[in-house]
């Protein structure tokens, strides 16, 4: 099922209800379409792995709607704060020390009104890798998501084609030196990590 969401708050509320009840929803971001679940619900997150065929050793990052959500999830260093202020909302994922465990957490604040509205309506961080079967190209349209998951997820929010069409850049800030784990929509030069 695909719902057109331009100005359709009903579709966003429906998607938020699915997320809150432990289900999966696909939605657009500025990079690629994401397959999302309640990031604080382990069973819901496990469904992402099952539906995508994603290896269990690949962690899920969390999409957030504002700085307060990041502060609840992670410890923020001065460098992290500088990158957040400069690139978020936007196509940057930061790996930070988790406040919820002895581990780390990846956080990203997407620059997409539909996604931000969904996160706010669900009122939880949303775990959301790309909405494709593992090993296939990340989708940039709702139709590509439908082709991959027809019948496997209850709702796809259609926000048109994604702005960038490539995944977010991932930077690990949990070590002494920042480490680029994946170059994506933001170039290494733009990050200016020196």
- pLDDT digit string (tens) for 76-111? 999 999 999 999 999 999 999 999 889 999 999 999
Q: Which residue has the tokens 């733009």?
A: 190
Residues 6+ apart with CB under 8 A from 122: 15, 16, 19, 20, 38
More confident site: 4 or 30 = 30
Residue in the block written with tokens 């494709």 = 132
pLDDT digits (tens, 9 = 90+) for 127-186: 999 999 999 999 999 999 999 998 899 999 999 999 999 999 999 999 989 999 999 999
What is the predicted pLDDT for the residue at 194? 61
> In this predicted structure, what is the pLDDT of residue 136?
95
Contact in structure between 127 and 48 (CB atoms under 8 Å): yes
- Quick one: pLDDT at residue 26? 96
The share of the chain scoring above pLDDT 70, in percent, equals: 96
**What pLDDT score does 91 carry?**
98
Separation of alpha carbons 40 and 99, rounded Å:
13
């Amino acid at each position: 099922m695909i719902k057109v969401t331009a100005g359709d708050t009903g579709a966003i509320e429906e998607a938020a209800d699915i997320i809150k009840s432990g289900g999966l929803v696909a939605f657009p971001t500025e990079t690629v379409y994401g397959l999302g679940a309640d990031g604080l619900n382990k069973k819901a997150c496990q469904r992402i792995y099952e539906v995508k065929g994603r290896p269990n050793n690949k962690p899920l990052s969390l999409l957030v709607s504002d700085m307060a959500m990041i502060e609840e999830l992670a410890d923020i260093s001065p460098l992290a704060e500088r990158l957040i202020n400069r690139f978020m909302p936007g196509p940057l994922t930061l790996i930070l020390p988790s406040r919820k465990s002895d581990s780390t957490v990846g956080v990203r604040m997407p620059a997409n009104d539909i996604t931000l509205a969904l996160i706010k309506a669900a009122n939880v961080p949303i775990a959301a890798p790309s909405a494709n079967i593992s090993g296939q190209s990340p989708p940039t349209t709702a139709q590509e998501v439908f082709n991959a998951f027809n019948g496997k997820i209850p709702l796809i929010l259609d926000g048109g084609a994604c702005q960038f069409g490539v995944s977010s850049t991932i930077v690990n800030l949990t070590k002494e030196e920042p480490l680029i784990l994946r170059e994506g929509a933001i170039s290494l030069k733009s990050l200016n990590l020196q």
